[in-house]
Chains A and B, each alone.
Chain A
Amino acid sequence: MSDIKKIKDEILNKLNADLNIESINQIKSELFGKKGKISNSFKNLGSLPTEERKKFASDLNFVKDELQEKINKKIQEIEIKEINSKLQNEKVDVTLPERNIVQGKIHPVSQVIDELSSIFSEIGFSVEEGPDVENEHYNFTALNTPDNHPARDMHDTFYLDDKKELLLRTHTSPVQVRTMLKGKPPFKIIAPGRTYRSDSDQTHAPMFHQVEGLHIDKNVNMGHLKGCLTYFIKSFFEVDKIKMRFRPSHFPFTEPSAEVDIGYELKDGKIVIGEGDRWLEILGCGMVHPNVLKNVKINLDNYQGYAFGIGIDRLAMLKYGINDLRAFFETDYRWLNHFGFDPLDVPSNYRGLSR
């Protein structure tokens, strides 16, 4: 019995000292290891007389439990102490430079094309495309542009052969013709894409972007045209109120034709869209000319409709405050980074177009 007490006192004494995990593990094996003090005591059990054996066993078990509990408690204490000291000593300096993540960008023209598609999708337009290389027929003749029209001058059109049969399309309107020739009315399409004119200065680039719109159905009139474009402009500029003006103009492929101006004012040298006394020309449109419809074999008694053409680069400039058209095509890394969009920033109807 005194042996047990002796062991107990000795151990309790040891446990009171300032211990670490290693020394406590040592104590643990000193007691409960194969040749440990407690284990040895149990081995001695058999050599004791029966009446003593019972009491000894009970006392030993009691001390064993007590010591085990003390040791566990001590381990816990040490662990908490260690965590606390780790927390104390191992702070992260978050002001160190971040890891380099390269963020890609979407070009403003692409972003605006997706915005347009989203807006027109809402009112039932689908997206069509046509070739960049066109022939003279689709680009001009079929669109009621007679062969002595000034637009055909070398000055305006890039040609790919000496006979002036093949050219780079000067507008997206040939897509109208191709679409109507390959299908049957009704038609309700937009056609965004690259267009080309041999013109290059501060405000003109030899390549630019247009979106063509075409809606042919029974009884589509100028009221529908006005409604469609009013809806478009409000949606695109994300404003409730916008001053708009339809004014008569002339295009060979539409009649009556109109140009649409929107109101703006200059604030600190910047264009602010919506109110103001100044007018900015933004698109051309009109009722598709009967000659065009005849050229694509559409029955004039049953079908009529409207078409429009909008400069995409110009829209992007106005909405996102970009001053220089030429910069769109110069691939300056700083420009792309500044005016480009996060690829995950996809324009959609439910979320809204821009952030």
Chain B
Amino acid sequence: MKFTIGWLKDHLDTKFKDNQIIEKLTDVGLEVESFEKVSSDLDNFKVAKIINADQHPNADKLKVCVVDIGQQNTIKVVCGAPNAKKDLLTVYAGPGSVIPKNNMKLTVSKIRGVTSYGMLCSESELNLSDESEGITELKSNEYSDKVGKNFFKNNTEKVIDLSITPNRPDCLGVRGVARDLAAAGVGKLKNISNIKIKNSGPQKIKVSITKDKNQGCTIFGSCLIKDVTNKESPKWLKDKIISLGQKPISAIVDITNYVMLDLNRPLHAYDADKIDKEIIVRNSKKGETFEALDNKEYKLDNDMCVISDKSGVLGLGGIIGGTRSGTEFNTKNILLESAYFSPRSIRKTSKLLNIDTDAKFRFERGIDPQSIEIGLDKAAQLITKICGGKVSKFDVQSIRKVKKNKIKFKISLFEKITGFKIKDKEVIKILIDLGFKVSKKKSELELTTPSWRPDITQPIDIVEEIVRIKGYNNIETLEPEKNRIKDTLNKQQKLFHFLQRSVASKGYFETVTWSFTDSKINNLFKENYKEIKIVNPISSDLDVLRNSIFPNLAFYLKKNLDRGFRDISLCEIGPIFKDNKPGEQLTVIGGIKSGKISRLNWNEQNRLVDVFDAKKRYNSDLNRSWI
């Protein structure tokens, strides 16, 4: 989960410094993986000023520009743009930069005999617009004091990367993170007002959810937005999308992505004119196909949750949309979807088809079923603001009521588990800040859990919420008692320990090798045991569990001989397997020796390892181990 401090402050009123926020995130259980600038190729693009633009000596349509890029020396760039002229503020890309539009990497090059250091870029080359006639013209009142600075300024904002545990889908949205921080005392969570958008007229496309077996979709909210002009996103929105390492596509797509990252509310936009009459949410039939937005064609099985119209499948609900109904720059009318899909259904379908998308990741962990209309509202507001258009009333179909989850919580459980006490008042405040509805009855709290927390189902979950927000540093460190109720090792474990060190003390290097091995080598040693295949081995030469301790020892002995070592003694103590059931294993110790017992030197004769060395080892150890 990535976001910037600036984005966090859209939801959180705080005076805390960046590093304090970072620390607090980890303290409440939102582990910060990194907090750094996303170094991107875009850092190479600088605001520049043309000092002089002279005619190229050898080409009529080229100019040789002397450019100020905020460094001590100006540089020379050959440029073909008709609008390149003295005093123009524009965007300069140095050698090594990669042009966003065509991924071309710039080098220092000679153009008709004049050396050019980099390039002045058009808006089209920067993916800012389709404008490719001439280089970008920056307004002098905005940029005149920014010569030499990075052009893509938001890229330099540091990005927080959180590792969100699978129980916290709510924190896959910036608002969820802000809420946790506010509860922990880092400022105040800003209100998001209720539905603000002015709706007019009904949503004319009929939506129905069929009552199929294990229907994966239980709520489907939508609104129609008519007469929009889809375009490139404004800079602030692009910057937000880019800062997270994603690629801006179009205003409508960027807005749906933005709302998903902001509120953890996935949305989908359809080109309404491409929908054949109505929307039917149903289970798929085996053999149905559709082309998804990743440009792959998927063949569906029975009972996958699909969004369809009269002509067929439009998309896989909560996983991926289809190309047939996708929005494009010329899209005029859109249908916006905000739905709830069950984690189980999402997981099953995405696994069968092997699709991984951002939406799938979120629905699989559990989306707030109460965020349907808030999501539609926020997206519709942004779309009308940027693309214009008129919004219909929200249509919400649902086949099941959202149940409120209530928990009775004895406050004393907190101390019983954590070993320390906090005031009832503080317990209640933390829970309210996290979004619980609380009513107190003597020493018990009656709680209604927030709809965005599918992970909270029982009293122990409440203990965890309170203690993580209060801080684990409040838990006392109790000295362990030093009394023993049972021997540390049993008889077999003592034997294990003895054999291991006894064999090693006779010149063997103890090794640890995989419990699996190559079936080809294993077959030489397995005797009467059954071959135990691994269904998904890490590689084809580690495909079975070992039936003997020797396959790996022999394999690694050879490897060492190949490395040029002589006179090697290896041993291993560990499991071998008789069958693929729990408990069908033996612990054995095996040794292997190769080369010469002694090499010719001033006082000894050469002697090869022979069977009598093995015999001695075998006898002396077994005698001493009471077998």
Contact = CB atoms under 8 A, between A and B. Distances in A.
B509 A126 contact: no
Contact of B559 (A117, A247, A331): A331
Given A107-B512, A133-B580, A194-B574, A223 B599 contact: no
A210 to B, nearest CB: 14
Contact of A134 (B481, B571, B582): B582
B582 A138 contact: yes
Contact of B511 (A120, A158, A206, A336): A336
Interface in B577-627: 577, 580-585, 598-599, 601-604
Nearest to A139: B582
Contacts of B26: 247
A126 B491 CA distance: 12
B418 to A, nearest CB: 5
B101 interface: no
13 contacts: A100-B604, A104-B504, A124-B481, A132-B585, A158-B534, A168-B515, A222-B475, A224-B480, A227-B477, A231-B479, A247-B472, A250-B29, A255-B460
10 shortest interchain CB distances as A-B pairs = A248-B29, A223-B419, A250-B165, A331-B556, A102-B507, A221-B419, A248-B468, A121-B488, A104-B504, A256-B464
A103 interface: yes
A123 B483 CA distance: 6
Interface in B351-398: 351
B541 to A, nearest CB: 12
B234 to A, nearest CB: 37
Contact of B535 (A129, A162, A304): A162
Contact of A250 (B167, B467, B484, B599): B167
A344 interface: yes
A161 interface: yes
Interface of B: 26-29, 31, 165-168, 343-344, 347-348, 351, 416-420, 458, 460-461, 463-464, 467-468, 472-473, 475-490, 493, 497, 500-516, 532-538, 542, 545, 552, 556, 559-560, 563, 565, 567-571, 573-575, 577, 580-585, 598-599, 601-604
A198 B514 CA distance: 12
Contacts of B488: 117, 120-121, 125-127
Interface string A205-232: 0110000000000010111101110110
A125 B577 CA distance: 28
A159 B536 contact: yes
A227 B480 contact: yes
A161 B569 contact: no
A166 B497 CA distance: 29
Nearest to B503: A104
A250 B569 contact: no
Q: In which size bucket is the chain A interface? A: 35 or more
Given A134-B582, A337-B509, A124 B484 contact: yes
A236 interface: no
B534 A331 contact: no
Contacts of B604: 99-100
B577 A100 contact: no
A328 B512 contact: yes
B29 A230 contact: no
Contacts of A160: 532-535, 545, 580
Interface of A: 96-97, 99-100, 102-107, 109-110, 114, 117, 120-127, 129, 131-135, 138, 148-150, 153-154, 158-162, 166, 168, 186, 188, 194, 196, 198, 200, 206-207, 219, 221-224, 226-228, 230-231, 246-250, 255-259, 287, 289-290, 304, 328-333, 336-337, 340, 343-344, 346
A333 B480 contact: no
Nearest to B508: A104
A290 B552 CA distance: 42
Contact of A105 (B502, B509, B565): B509
A130 to B, nearest CB: 8
A203 to B, nearest CB: 15
B417 A121 contact: no
A228 B571 CA distance: 35
A77 to B, nearest CB: 36
Contacts of B464: 248, 255-257
A110 B510 contact: yes
Given A124-B483, A138-B582, A228-B480, A256 B467 contact: yes
A44 B569 CA distance: 80
A109 B521 CA distance: 26
A102 to B, nearest CB: 4
Contacts of B585: 131-133
A250 B510 contact: no
A133 B577 contact: yes
